Amino acid sequence: MNKRVYGILGIVSRMSNWNADFTGYPKTTSSGEVFGSDKAFKYPIKKMWEQQGRKVLYLKSLKLNESKKGETELIPRSLKERYEHIFDVEDLKKEKDSKAVLKNLFMAIDVKNFGATFAEEGNNISITGAVQIGQGFNKHCETNAEEQQILSPFRDASKKEGKDNEEKEDAKASTIGTKIVSNEAHYFYPFAINPATYDEFKSLGVTGGYTEEDYETFKDASLVAATSFSTNAKIGCENEFALFVETDRDIYLPDLSQYIEFQKEEGKNTILLKCDELLNDLQDKIHNIEIYYNPYTTVLEGKIKGAKKMNIFTKKEV
């Protein structure tokens, strides 16, 4: 691929939890800003690729393991076991050809896009990904966390009845859990794609480099993966915005998400594209600009010359 790509990927979260910390609340910085990690965005993309039958290495998978006591337990595969599973390798430790391992790694669609840290005995390999995604900050100033109590249909069998009535009733009662969501949040992730990252690996003969097909595969998944990933916590999360700026290979753009503002309005919301002046000044170095958004809920403001505006659901020009 003889170009670079810069852009922004936007996610809306309504009464859901796009990216929780270890307390269950939406992730925040030390100053209280709500954000989502790059891992939160990559995960539904990788799940989509896996469901399409593609090889995905960095994804949790389970196996049944028989212990020394003869008991069978369900446990996650190690990185070594995951590699052996998807590439049909008997024992990675016996693989002494690092070139063969590198070729396999580049056959995994997530490694081809996001890179890999493959720290296994005899094959300690680091691949910087052609696609780099930053942290997605929430641009909606009225985001609040909501905690809901959930009544389980089951009692806690570990609780024993005590002597007093309160302890007896507590042991018989159904358990209560919690679900924590954001009332509404709008995350905007910056990303950059640099095909030159793989030039050294191309010279080693382990990959053909980052191609147009790889880019289209990433682009297609990044536009729909959040919407398609309907777990209990993510059912209110959807792709709502994307900006793709294709440039010459020698153009270096900053984090474009810093030029985005979101305003909650009566009726339709407004996304302000304040990167128009920057991009308009580089028109002779830009090949193509595409903006995808939800026209049913959102209005765009900003005059980027030559930008195609597309419906993020239908992919038709607006």
pLDDT of residue 163: 59
Q: Which two tokens stand for residue 180?
A: 């924590």
When comparing pLDDT for 70 and 187, which is higher?
187
Percent of the chain with pLDDT over 90: 79
What distance in Å separates the CA atoms of residue 167 and residue 317, rounded to the nearest whole number?
Answer: 64
Residue 126 has pLDDT above 60, yes or no: yes
Stretch 167-176: mean pLDDT: 59
pLDDT per position as a tens digit, 138-154: 999 999 999 988 877 77
pLDDT in tens, 71-125: 889 999 999 999 999 999 999 998 889 999 999 999 999 999 999 999 888 888 9
pLDDT of the residue at 69: 79
Give pLDDT, residue 67.
78
**Which residues does residue 29 pair with via DSSP β-bridges, in sequence order?**
none
Rounded to an integer, what distance in angstroms lies between the CA atom of residue 283 and that of residue 305? 8
* Minimum mean pLDDT range among 129-133, 140-144, 233-237: 233-237
pLDDT of residue 169 exceeding 70, the answer is no
When pLDDT is averaged across residues 23-50 and rounded to a whole number, the result is: 95
HEC-encoded secondary structure of the chain: CCCEEEEEEEEEEEEECCCECCCCCECECCCCCEEECHHHHHHHHHHHHHHCCCCCCCCCCEEEEECCCCCEEEEECCHHHHHHHHHCCCCHHHCCCHHHHHHHHHHCHHHHHHEEEEEECCEEEEEECCEEECCEEECCCCCCEEEEEEEEEEECCCCCCCCCHHHHHHHHCEEEEEEEEEEEEEEEEEEEECHHHHHHHHHCCCCCCCCHHHHHHHHHHHHHHHHHCCCCCCCCEEEEEEEEEEECCCCCCCCHHHHEEEECCCCCEEEEECCHHHHHCCHHHEEEEEEEECCCCEEEECCCCCCEEEECCCCCEC
Buried b (16+ CB within 10 A) or exposed e, 105-142: bbbbbbbbbbbbebeeeebeeebebbbbbbbbbbbbee
User: Does the pLDDT value for residue 205 go beyond 80?
Assistant: yes
d(CA 8, CA 273): 11
Q: Is the pLDDT of residue 7 over 90?
A: yes
* pLDDT at 165 exceeding the cut of 70: no
Residue 268 structure tokens: 């339709």
Phi, psi at 234, each rounded to 5°: -105, 5
Q: Output the CA torsion sign for 23, 27, 29, 34.
A: negative
Comparing 113-122, 163-172, 288-297, which segment has the lowest mean pLDDT? Answer: 163-172
Which amino acid is it at 30? S
Distance CA 189, CA 225 (A): 14
pLDDT per position as a tens digit, 37-64: 999 999 999 999 999 999 999 999 999 9
Can you tell me the distance from the alpha carbon of 311 to that of 314, in angstroms, rounded to the nearest whole number? Answer: 5
Residue of higher predicted confidence among 149 and 244: 244
Model's pTM, two decimal places? 0.90
Contacts with 317 (C-beta within 8 Å, 6 or more apart), sequence order: 308, 309, 310, 311
pLDDT at 162 over 60: no
pLDDT band (50, 70, 90) for residue 177: confident
State yes or no: pLDDT of 173 exceeds 90: no
Mean pLDDT of the chain: 91
pLDDT of 273 above 70: yes
pLDDT band at 262; cut points 50, 70, 90: very high
